[in-house]
Chain A
């Protein structure tokens, strides 16, 4: 099982995502933004960070990287893709996920251990969890406030596209406490919190995040 982790200029949590992939039992494969080469991976993680320094808009420049065209093509054919934090922003900018991430309502960068509720336990990245399960993973962002037009929000809620929701306090003013959303086919998931920082007792607030990475192993096998 090969899971790619893309490094853009300014990616920061790529080493963390690769570690999480490894701890989940898969082989992490380093992917470079400027190559048109997905190196035969079975799934892709877009890690957190400040790609291109968040210039223009967070994720906007990275979404136009050469490799992202290949990611978008493969994702539309069902390859699982996970976007974490800046990776979520890139997926929204690339048109793979709806909505946008804007400046936190309180205007501060905020890093805390955050409770999340798994709303959808049948996506490629969340099947290791039970529906309604509460987990704790770190959240850390300055531009993590999820927004979409009212009609779009209604549609997402109606279609069950909200994958993860903040509980016990909303860290950034996201509409409807939305922490992460999924594509229609459940193969592409983006979320602001950082499951890759909750994969070891020694360094994380929990090991609750590991489930995202074990989920995709099953998704790829069953695909």
Chain B
């Protein structure tokens, strides 16, 4: 691409050529069929452009072309992924699902009349171009999706992946992304309750920034995005529309980065969390007064998306006077206004006699609100600019009937060689000293290390309902102070497993998130996902994507969990190098009484440490193979969903009956990582016996396992064995070492030093500049 999308558009509306200084209206388009249009610069294929001409029976106007180009982008239309994603919609209906896939976010019944809506979304490309704003507006966008459903947003999580931790570009991207996630979420007053931080070469140039938001409402408060009722008003409210984020979904999110291309920074939106906070409070008051019949947020594709989706999901007719849209920049062209992704905006459908009350609430919260149009009879979306018609389209063709591709797929040519390169053949530690060294290396690796450097930048306390947050396995939030009802959430996405086998990898990721929710004592209820892959135009990437979707759908069917929604991020590749397939899976669980939640750390001495589940020699894609040998090969651990379900039931029962004092899931880094984290959480060690093969015990990443501590091992054993879950006694808590008989006694101080030093060493240690400041020694600034 040699020209930016906006330049292509401006040429038509204001630049040189046959239409210079002339508004491109529908009558003009009818009379000038042969004008060349910059569809390619806008990211449209020639056949897609031809189809638009077919639909309209003429060439599109500049404004129409802008709308189609953003709405038919990969990001908005899911044109490459749709044929696969249908499997989620085909899952058997769940009694807990109140609103399914297709709305802004699915809604789940969590009991006592409460409904929860949650979703994870990517903001990968913007975060690479402009880390702070990219990440910040990623949080802002997902929060608006949740708000749009009628819910009060109550927490956020973030799942982050960067290139090698010591790569120079990681030092540019990571601090900005973390500050952006924190800056926006903190200012909104939403606790950040957990997530992931992982590093791999494959994300250099394509960092992944996936943000999750969860919201809570009563069943009767669910809102939908549709425009119904002829004569109802279309109200745009929130921030003014500016020139930021134009073409964000098309030229940025739906194309591969290219070293020679123009700077894409203008395609990144700029966030204002203060305005979003006001928008949240205004919306919740508007909902409480029952002032809207439909509502939609403006995110990717801005007004093009909001108007066409509202109209398409409703009766079809809508008219908008685009010149009424309040602008930050009065020089914007109509097409730019339609494409702008300026943040903190919402669009509501309001009955005429409620408009005054609606505007009054907005005034109270200092939120700008403007009636820009109304619902009309018929099935056309029309847009005028100072009285002249510039858009006249059937909205379904814009929003819901975009192109659908059955992209060619091919199993990656290197997969057999990868499978043959079995991690089981790697040299194993020969001595107790080596074993200890490998243990420390895994725990101190950037993926295994303490994440406080990041999470200290996030507010986890605001709203006063955070029961568990990072470093616990799941985030747990109380949703009712009277009944102590609560929810648990986890996000997981092991891309090494998915690289070796995307079908199994997606299932293993689901299993891990399911387990993380279960160890907190919650009952898993529903699934969301963010599918991060390379270019769909590469058959091998498309195969990975299809396999991951099939694996996730099959696993959800087995576990009886609905997929409530999700997000697909493609084109995560630079040149012809794609990221490892990274399906990030979120699981929502419910706590009937959040006071029975189970934390991950050991607190007291003298408790019995038990391992639940079966350990097999499985090292393919393991943290040990990666950290110690820089190796990725073999097969990922076997998937056993029945074992996951049984383990989950046992953990839930143990939590409710208060039979365990802690529980920690086993995943990346296996038992080695889980033991270290459990001991370091509150500084309580343990003396353990790991049997004849301590290497396998420590580093295998077999699924369906958890470590628990208890004062009543017999009761735990009875409960577990009743459900068919094997129990192995590992030892007893206490002391200030993590001691494995016959192998090592790791002093917790030494372990903690290794575990906590990694991220500050890489990304700077604020502590050094602060310390404790003695009285009178620091001059005032």
Contact = CB atoms under 8 A, between A and B. Distances in A.
Given A53-B274, A203-B478, A13 B462 contact: yes
Interface in B165-194: 179, 182-183, 186-189
Interface stretch (B94-102, B464-472, B630-638): B464-472
A54 B478 CA distance: 29
Interface in A150-195: 150, 153, 157, 166, 168-177, 194
Interface stretch (A106-114, A128-136, A214-222): A106-114
B417 interface: no
Interface in B460-501: 460-467, 478, 481, 484
A175 B456 contact: no
A16 B766 contact: no
A102 B778 CA distance: 15
Contact residues of B: prevailing secondary structure: loop
Interface in A40-64: 48-50, 52-55
Nearest to A205: B461
Contacts of A110: 456-457, 766
A176 B187 contact: no
B459 interface: yes
A170 B417 CA distance: 54
Nearest to B768: A106
B387 interface: no
A16 B456 contact: no
Interface string A78-105: 0000000000000000000000001011
A52 B187 CA distance: 10
B274 A140 contact: no
B278 interface: yes
B259 interface: no
B393 to A, nearest CB: 38
B771 A112 contact: no
Interface residues of A, number: 52
Contact of A53 (B179, B273, B464, B772): B273
Residue in A140, A172, A194, A204 whose Cβ sees the most chain B Cβ within 10 Å = A140
Residue in A110, A150, A196 whose Cβ sees the most chain B Cβ within 10 Å = A110
A147 interface: yes
Contacts of B188: 12
B interface, size bucket: 35 or more
Nearest to B458: A111
Given A10-B274, A50-B187, A150-B780, A177 B457 contact: no
Contacts of A140: 186, 459, 461-462
Nearest to B781: A147
B152 to A, nearest CB: 11
Given A15-B463, A197-B461, A169 B780 contact: no
Given A15-B464, A173-B770, 20 more contacts: A9-B274, A13-B462, A16-B462, A50-B274, A53-B187, A104-B770, A107-B766, A110-B456, A138-B461, A142-B186, A148-B780, A166-B772, A169-B767, A170-B770, A175-B778, A176-B775, A176-B776, A197-B461, A203-B466, A204-B461
Interface of A: 9-10, 12-13, 15-16, 19, 48-50, 52-55, 102, 104-112, 138, 140, 142, 147-150, 153, 157, 166, 168-177, 194, 196-197, 199-200, 202-204
The 5 closest A-B pairs by CB, nearest first: A53-B274, A106-B766, A12-B189, A197-B461, A16-B464
25 contacts: A9-B278, A12-B187, A13-B189, A15-B463, A15-B464, A16-B461, A19-B464, A50-B274, A50-B277, A53-B272, A53-B273, A53-B277, A105-B770, A109-B457, A111-B460, A140-B462, A148-B780, A157-B775, A177-B773, A194-B461, A197-B461, A197-B464, A199-B464, A202-B478, A202-B595
